Amino acid sequence: MRIRGFAALYASATIFAFVTLSVKFASRYYSGLFVSGSRFAIGIVLCLAVLIFGYGRIRPVKPGLVILRGLFGALSMAASYAAISLTGPGRATLLSNAYPLFVALFGALLFGEALKKRTLASVALCLLGAFLVVRDGSGAAISGDLLALGSAVLAGVAINIVRRASSSENPFVLYLSPCLFGLPIFALAPLPAESGGVVGILLLVAVGAGAFAAQALMAYGYGSVPAGRGSVVFYWETVLTVALGALLAGERFNLRAVAGLCLMLGGLWINRERRAERSGVPPGD
């Protein structure tokens, strides 16, 4: 079972990397908000199908936690997608995947969890790395970088809420909630200047269905893999996204940005959870 769990986590990380690349390609036809809204719409349909036909119930046990998870999760996802559309997929993923830092910080500030020395060291390394990436002189949109960092901050709150809701809530209910809260983004998203044709529609479907599949695989994987060991798997997502962005999306990283990447990955590695915890809910945003 442990091998299957790790396989599911690696598959999830790989799918997330390709979803990020699909977001970047879809932004050639649609705004980041429109792509994000499409993901939420597809997520609603798929979550409802699984909950109705697979579990026979949708009602949450603790509605307050589910609502908060939905609000912060939707804002985090929308910020992340907007960041990808404004800057490169690798940069956006790198900065938004700094969320474990904010999970630890908000856990200490809001829920009284212990703030360990290695967490403080991790914060210092990641902040320095983020500064190098944002100020690398490459001409990348600063707005995209800041949105990606904002996504990480919001995810830090959302994941703390998921931790507290996971003992009582179905993981698909927890994913349905941000999709429902995010759906009104369509009202803010500018209408596409052109349809994007079949290619554009397929990219939107790839984003929505791919994100759902990655979330489902993550939930399955964490059913048998300790959270601390499993979270390390998702460094693969960052590395693969950076590579795909360079190979397929024309994204380029100079030496200063590469140094920032290494510092952030090192900081996240230091802060990884080492205890053998188990969780049936993915620690995604």
Classify residue 285: in a domain, yes or no.
no
Quote the pLDDT of residue 201. 93
CA angle 116, 119, 121 (to 5 degrees): 115
**Residue 50 pLDDT class (50, 70, 90 cuts):** very high
Answer yes or no: are the C-beta atoms of 137 and 271 closer than 8 Å.
no
CA atoms within 13 A on the CB side of 4: 5
Classify residue 214: in a domain, yes or no.
yes
Answer yes or no: are the C-beta atoms of 238 and 13 closer than 8 Å.
no
Quote the pLDDT of residue 136. 73
Mean pLDDT value across the chain: 83
Here the tokens at position 24 are 């970047």
Burial label for 30, CB within 10 Å (0-12, 13-18, 19+), is buried
Share of the chain above pLDDT 70, in %: 90
Classify residue 17: in a domain, yes or no.
yes
**Residue 279 pLDDT class (50, 70, 90 cuts):** very low
Which are the contacts of 226, defined by CB distance < 8 A and separation ≥ 6? 275, 276, 277, 278
Classify residue 220: in a domain, yes or no.
yes
Query: pLDDT of 237-253, one tens digit each?
Result: 877 887 888 888 777 77
Residue (of 70, 72, 96) closest to 82 by Cα position: 96
Residue (of 165, 116, 153) closest to 272 by Cα position: 116
Classify residue 95: in a domain, yes or no.
yes
Classify residue 99: in a domain, yes or no.
yes
Quote the pLDDT of residue 282. 44
Answer yes or no: are the C-beta atoms of 95 and 148 closer than 8 Å.
yes
**Residue 226 pLDDT class (50, 70, 90 cuts):** low
Domain with 45, as residue range(s), is: 2-270
Q: What one-letter code names the amino acid at 135?
A: R
Here the tokens at position 236 are 């693969």
Mean local confidence (pLDDT), 197-218? 93
How far apart, in whole angstroms, are the C-alpha atoms of residue 284 and residue 145?
20
Classify residue 171: in a domain, yes or no.
yes
Answer yes or no: are the C-beta atoms of 224 and 5 closer than 8 Å.
yes
Quote the pLDDT of residue 104. 77
Quote the pLDDT of residue 111. 79
Quote the pLDDT of residue 192. 79
How far apart, in whole angstroms, are the C-alpha atoms of residue 279 and residue 178?
20
Domain count, the chain: 1
How far apart, in whole angstroms, are the C-alpha atoms of residue 118 and residue 116?
5
Residue 215 has pLDDT above 50, yes or no: yes
Classify residue 203: in a domain, yes or no.
yes
pTM, to two decimals:
0.80
How far apart, in whole angstroms, are the C-alpha atoms of residue 202 and residue 206?
6
Quote the pLDDT of residue 278. 42
How far apart, in whole angstroms, are the C-alpha atoms of residue 76 and residue 61?
24
Answer yes or no: are the C-beta atoms of 19 and 207 closer than 8 Å.
yes
How far apart, in whole angstroms, are the C-alpha atoms of residue 213 and residue 28?
24
Quote the pLDDT of residue 232. 65
- What sections of the chain are H helices per DSSP? 2-26, 32-50, 63-86, 89-96, 99-111, 117-134, 142-165, 171-182, 185-188, 197-221, 227-233, 235-248, 255-270
Quote the pLDDT of residue 1. 59
Supply φ then ψ for residue 280, to 5 degrees.
-90, 5
**Residue 28 pLDDT class (50, 70, 90 cuts):** confident
